Amino acid sequence: MTVAVAVTVTVPEGWEPGAFKARVDQVLHRFAAEEAGQLTAIDSSLGPVADAVETAVADGKRLRAAFCYWGWRAAGQPDSDALVRAAASMELVHAAAVVHDDLIDDSPLRHGRPTAHLALREAVRDHPQPASAARSLAMLAGDLLMSMAGQLFVTSGLPAAYLGRARPLWAALARELIAGECLEILHTGSAAPDTTISLKVVRYKTAKYTVEQPLLIGALLGGAGERLRAGCSAYGLPLGEAFQLRDDLLGLFGDPALTGKDGSDDVRGHRPTALLAEAWRLAGEEDRERLRTLLAAGAGTDKDTGTDTADTGTGTGTADADADADAVRDVMRRLKAPDRIEAMITARVEEALHALDELDLPGPAAAALNRLAHSAAVRRS
């Protein structure tokens, strides 16, 4: 499937995404290794959990850290290693959210590797209920990652007065992220998918903590005034929504070799994506009945092959799940639901870039945020 957004992107002078990612990776890998060492110092049997923590931060685009960094620069502040450390904490929030999300969704793959709750099975192979035990360990690893995010932020090296400006937003970030995840759970399997509800899930589960809140935190750390803060939200919210809408498309129509995820996950989980909601809205009764049948069949399959009674799948397996996903794709293509999501992405990116133009930011910040808009919305993984 071709993915494209018709927007003009300026390559920013002096902005080297690869070099910035390397700086963030260095902070994260070192910090996670230190935490892993402290964990295994308590008891060597905690090694698999320590490994899960390090694995959770091993990969990533580091977009959230980049938005935090450029919020700081947009407020007129210079480059700062302490700020990079604070920005890296946004990636630990993401790592925690991913571990918990994969656990909730029972996803088998992330970055082409087994997800934490599956990778931890080996550590509890002698447990009477290994699947449940591994899931519990993954949950706790996710909790530790969220705690690490706060720790890295407050020990970043920025002055306490600067940190105090942004600290209240952390409570909102956690609350809204959890609200979005809860909303997705509450509406999963809905008999009548609704685009308005799906977009609320998109906004709170992903959009706000991916773009708006990191950008606002960086701007607040830098002493941003009311106008810049409002502009951060006007840019960040629609762009964050575009990011997740692209994820929805890639989840079903992307190349698993590039996304590193299982392409049948959303069908198997009957998740309330905007893509499904738009397909439902466009469908007639015959197509709706077809979608009902396919989604019900998909929900019967389970990639968890544990021995626990509660975790043993009752479906017909991976091949049938893939076939059901293919059939759902066919229905969606015929209804042109992917085209509707593409149009929604384009509209949101244009809205974000218009808000950016209105802010009249320093040249490097404006250029970098322009490019980041492209990176978030036009991608294959």
pLDDT tens figures, 180-217: 999 999 999 888 999 999 999 999 999 999 999 999 99
Measured CA to CA, the distance from residue 157 to residue 112 in angstroms comes to 35
HSE-CB at 91 with a 13 A cutoff on CA atoms is 30
- Closest Cα partner for 144 from 15, 252, 52? 52
- Assign a CATH topology to domain 17-377: Farnesyl Diphosphate Synthase (1.10.600)
Tell me, what's the pLDDT at 313?
39
Q: What is the pLDDT of residue 299?
A: 61
pLDDT at residue 297 tops 80: no
Residues 35-64 have a mean pLDDT of: 97
- Got the DSSP string for 338-351? HHHHHHHHHHHHHH
Chain centre to alpha carbon of residue 156: 23
Task: Yes or no: say if 72 and 221 are a contact pair by the CB < 8 Å rule.
Answer: yes
pLDDT-derived band of residue 296, with 50, 70 and 90 as boundaries? confident
Q: Chain-wide mean pLDDT for the chain?
A: 90
Of residues 347, 349, 187, 194, the one with CA closest to residue 279: 194
**Could you say which DSSP state residue 279 is in?**
H
How many C-beta neighbours within 10 Å does residue 303 have? 19
Q: For residues 64 and 375, what is the distance between their CA atoms, to the nearest angstrom? A: 12
Residue 245, pLDDT score = 97
Q: Reply yes or no on whether the pLDDT at 331 is more than 90.
A: yes
Res 312: pLDDT: 39
Report the pLDDT value the prediction gives residue 320, as an integer from 0 to 100. Answer: 76
Instruction: Determine the Cα–Cα distance for residues 349 and 252; give it in Å rounded to an integer.
Output: 21
Tell me, what's the pLDDT at 73?
A: 97
pTM of the model: 0.90
Q: What is the DSSP letter of 311?
A: G
Q: What are the residues whose beta carbons fall under 8 Å from the beta carbon of 186, sequence distance 6 or more? A: none
Number of residues assigned to the chain: 381
Q: How far apart are CA 44 and CA 48, in angstroms?
A: 9
Under the banding of pLDDT at 50, 70 and 90, the label for residue 305 is very low
The answer to whether 252 and 330 are in contact (CB under 8 A) is: no
State how far Cα 186 lies from the chain centre: 19
Interval 354-368: pLDDT, tens: 999 999 999 999 999
Residue 342 pLDDT grade (very low, low, confident, very high; cuts 50, 70, 90): very high
- The CA distance from 295 to 321, in Å, is 10
**pLDDT > 90 in the chain, percent:** 78
Quote the pLDDT of residue 2.
Answer: 39
Q: What is the pLDDT of residues 79-109, one digit of tens each?
A: 999 999 999 999 999 999 999 999 999 999 8
Q: Does 56 have pLDDT greater than 70?
A: yes
In angstroms, the CA 224 to CA 208 distance is: 18
Q: Is 214 left (phi over 0), alpha (psi -120 to 50) or beta?
A: alpha
CA distance 164 to 162: 5
Alpha-helical regions (H) of the chain: 17-42, 47-56, 63-74, 81-105, 116-119, 130-154, 160-187, 195-202, 213-221, 226-253, 256-259, 265-269, 274-282, 285-299, 318-335, 337-359, 363-377
Are 210 and 244 spatial neighbours (Cβ–Cβ below 8 Å)? yes
Give the pLDDT of residue 279.
Answer: 96
